[in-house]
Amino acid sequence: MSVGSRAMSKKRLAPGPPDQAAGNGLLDRRHLFAAAATAGTVALLSRPAVAAGELAVEPWMQEPGSPFVGYGQPSRFEANVVRVFTSAPGTTGTGASRTPHHLLDGTITPSGLHFERHHSGIPDIDPDRHRLLIHGLVKRPLVFSLETLARYRMESRIAFIECGGNSGALYQKDPVAGGVQALHGLVSCAEWTGVRLADLLDEAGWTQGRSGSSPRELTRPA
């Protein structure tokens, strides 16, 4: 070890107040990391170990559980993990529901907790009768059923959707007393699977309009 290295080691181990890395009492981040590591070690060592004999034998350990169901439902212990929603006065389906981000873990939002924004309620669409029409600036106007679309190559992507009014309360003049769900609940993330619009536009013979864009540019990944 060189003389410079020994001197630096002695300096790091020397007792005394920590060096300031900047003015106003800001400390060198090495001291912050060392303090955090020491505190974590002390907490682990001071935590009492629980002997196996001290664990209670709960009722669900002594009897069979629930039978199978056709479609899984959330646990009853998750009853408070729900969306909150507001409707415009005099309506039942014009408004928005908000995702409870503060009660979720991970990136993907469960389908039942994805935020929604409706202006005329939730439509009850019959998938067997639903049709997709592509016309206008195309050479061959086409109509697709869901059965027809299922024959095309599909892709899956993870993407988030955000309402334009999300976090809008933060722009008010006075502070708003609200939590994460009330302020930022109009955004959710999910895995989406479907046929690329570019493929359908290619088949319909999309012609360039005033935008001058191509179907590939309109549907390329963000």
* Domain residue limits at 147: 131-219
For residue 212, pLDDT beyond 70: no
182 falls within a domain: yes
31 falls within a domain: no
d(CA 204, CA 134): 7
CATH number, domain of 136, equals 3.90.420.10
d(CA 45, CA 104): 31
d(CA 57, CA 209): 71
What stretch of H or E contains 191? strand 187-195
For 108-157, how does the pLDDT look when each residue is reduced to its tens digit (9 = 90+)?
999 999 999 999 899 999 999 999 999 999 999 999 999 999 999 999 99
148 falls within a domain: yes
156 falls within a domain: yes
Q: pTM of the prediction?
A: 0.68
22 falls within a domain: no
Those residues with Cβ within 8 angstroms of residue 56's Cβ, 6 or more apart along the chain or in another chain = none
For 8-54, how does the pLDDT look when each residue is reduced to its tens digit (9 = 90+)?
555 455 555 555 444 444 455 565 566 666 666 665 566 666 565 68
Q: What was the pLDDT predicted at 216?
A: 56
Q: Count structural domains, the chain.
A: 1
73 falls within a domain: no
